[in-house]
Structure 1
Amino acid sequence: MNIFALGDLHLSFANPKPMDIFGDNWTDHPEKIRAAWEAVVSPDDLVLIPGDISWAMYLDEAKQDLDYVAALPGTKVMIRGNHDYWWASISKVRKALHPSIHALQNDAITIGDVTIAGVRGWDCPGGYMFDEHDRKVYEREVLRLQMSLDAAMKQKAKHLYVMLHYPPTNEKHHSSGFMEVLAQYPVDQVVYGHLHGKEGHRHALQGLHHGIEFHLTACDFLDFAPLKLT
């Protein structure tokens, strides 16, 4: 089993939202994703999707987007992004998903010898967008990350991966509650999304930090192709 990651699919089949307003590279991006995905992912592989799957506002409206993901090869594990307004209660989401898709929300799942923990995350203190109104949500998400990792540790898998939607630091890569929590556990790799365009990509936390490998996996950063993690 190989492990891949690709986030921020931003699908909108029910009510199309043209993404090329964010750059010509987004033109026909669902077909770009499909072609690149099918070229590298086999049915036995695992793909992590760290949020922003669909622009839909309601779960039934997201069905076509979720069917698109279900039709792609491999087992998929996803978390909620800041634009996934369709994501209702986790029980309703899980009930609506194809068996090839697993949804995480502040918890963990083990597939083979790999455990994946996942939370949405939030903007970090010291960032350009952070103000004191964000602090309560940020602190709650840090606690949820710890809760998710505690759940992962109980599953005793050999390899531990973490999905966040937001990056785990601010643009200056200062320490954060997310980084402090991650450092307390035997995490192998962290994948996240949320950052788009040259300005967002420029601030990405990449590579090895505190013994953990970090990857920005927003699809425009990866030219719409899943990143192989193993």
Structure 2
Amino acid sequence: MRIFAIGDLHLSGNPPTKPMDIFDLAWHNHWQKIKTDWSEKVGESDVVLLAGDISWAMNILEVKMDLEELITLPGRKIMIRGNHDYWWSTVTKLNNTFANKLEFLQNNFFQYENWAICGSRGWELPNEYYTEKDEQIFARELLRIENSLMQAEKIGLVNKILLLHYPPLLKGQEVSEISKLCCKYNVKQCIYGHLHGEDAFKLAFEGELDGTNYQLVSADYLDFKLKKITAI
């Protein structure tokens, strides 16, 4: 049994209504590349963590085609919301529509064997361009992240994975409010996406800090292949 991760699928139907290769030719036929790799690697008893920006759809009706594509692939799928997932309404509504097929991570956590899958979307890290609204959103996301970690802690799950969309750290930073939470709750793995292109990849923080291993899993960063996070 294994846990894999990938982020930023940016689906838009089949054939795609918003092909990603208009941004970068590396994205040409990207969904087929991901599906092929997924089908070769993942078994039904495995888990795939999806780090946001699943679909360009604007509502739950539009997203059905993209999510049905995911449902047909092997493994258990646990996902968080990305900044472009405008179709993500309430978790209750999503669960009512895709019950027992997909799992949506927000103000909750999921257990897989002795691992806790925790997380939330996150937000841009505080910077000089921050507005009052940014501060409010970031504060709310910190509460959601800690709530998810606390729930897992309460039932005694020691092995924790924190799944985010936005980066929890950037290269050159030694600490952030999110990394403090990772340290406080002994998070083993912190997985995130959002960053695209060579210039953005250079900003990514990867590696171990205070006992947490940070990994970027944007689809284009992984050459459209799933990354194995751990085996159980």
Is the contact between residue 158 and residue 186 of structure 2 (CA under 8 Å) also seen in structure 1?
Answer: no
- Report the TM-score, using the length of structure 2 for normalisation: 0.93
Deviation at 1:63, TM superposition (A): 0.3
- 1:117 corresponds in structure 2 to 118
Q: Which amino acid aligns with 1:119?
A: S
Is the contact between residue 118 and residue 145 of structure 1 (CA under 8 Å) also seen in structure 2?
Answer: yes
CA–CA distance in structure 1, aligned partners of residues 130 and 203 of structure 2 = 15
CA–CA distance in structure 1, aligned partners of residues 168 and 213 of structure 2 = 12
CA–CA distance in structure 1, aligned partners of residues 173 and 54 of structure 2 = 26
CA–CA distance in structure 2, aligned partners of residues 176 and 11 of structure 1 = 31
Deviation at 1:67, TM superposition (A): 0.5
SS of equivalent residue, structure 1 residue 12: coil
CA–CA distance in structure 2, aligned partners of residues 170 and 186 of structure 1 = 20
- Report the TM-score, using the length of structure 1 for normalisation: 0.94
CA–CA distance in structure 2, aligned partners of residues 195 and 30 of structure 1 = 18
TM-align CA RMSD: 1.6
Q: Which runs of 5+ in 1 are unaligned?
A: none
The answer as to 2:107 corresponding to 1:106 is: yes
- 1:155 corresponds in structure 2 to 155
Deviation at 1:156, TM superposition (A): 2.2
Identical-pair percentage: 41
Deviation at 1:46, TM superposition (A): 0.7
CA–CA distance in structure 2, aligned partners of residues 173 and 29 of structure 1 = 32
SS of equivalent residue, structure 1 residue 110: strand
Deviation at 1:130, TM superposition (A): 3.9
The answer as to 2:194 corresponding to 1:228 is: no
Show the 5 A alignment for 1:129-140. Answer: 130-140=130-140
CA–CA distance in structure 1, aligned partners of residues 39 and 7 of structure 2 = 16
- 1:190 corresponds in structure 2 to 190
Residues 51-97 of structure 1, C-alpha deviations (whole Å, 9 max, x = no match) = 11010000011001000111111001001111000001110011222
Is the contact between residue 51 and residue 82 of structure 1 (CA under 8 Å) also seen in structure 2?
Answer: yes
Residues 111-160 of structure 1, C-alpha deviations (whole Å, 9 max, x = no match) = 22211001110011137x64454111111111211111111112323421
Moved more, 42-51 or 118-127: 118-127
Moved more, 11-20 or 103-112: 11-20
Q: Which amino acid aligns with 2:39?
A: E
Q: Which runs of 5+ in 2 are unaligned?
A: none
SS of equivalent residue, structure 2 residue 111: strand
How many pairs are equivalent? 229
Is the contact between residue 108 and residue 151 of structure 2 (CA under 8 Å) also seen in structure 1?
Answer: yes
Is the contact between residue 12 and residue 18 of structure 2 (CA under 8 Å) also seen in structure 1?
Answer: yes
Residues 161-212 of structure 1, C-alpha deviations (whole Å, 9 max, x = no match) = 1101100124542522111111101211010000001111111110111110
- Closer, same or farther in 2 for the Cα pair 1:100/1:114, shift >3 Å? farther
SS of equivalent residue, structure 1 residue 229: strand
SS of equivalent residue, structure 2 residue 82: coil
CA–CA distance in structure 1, aligned partners of residues 62 and 211 of structure 2 = 41
- Closer, same or farther in 2 for the Cα pair 1:158/1:182, shift >3 Å? closer
Q: Which amino acid aligns with 1:168?
A: P
Moved more, 164-173 or 191-200: 164-173
CA–CA distance in structure 1, aligned partners of residues 30 and 90 of structure 2 = 28
Deviation at 1:100, TM superposition (A): 3.5
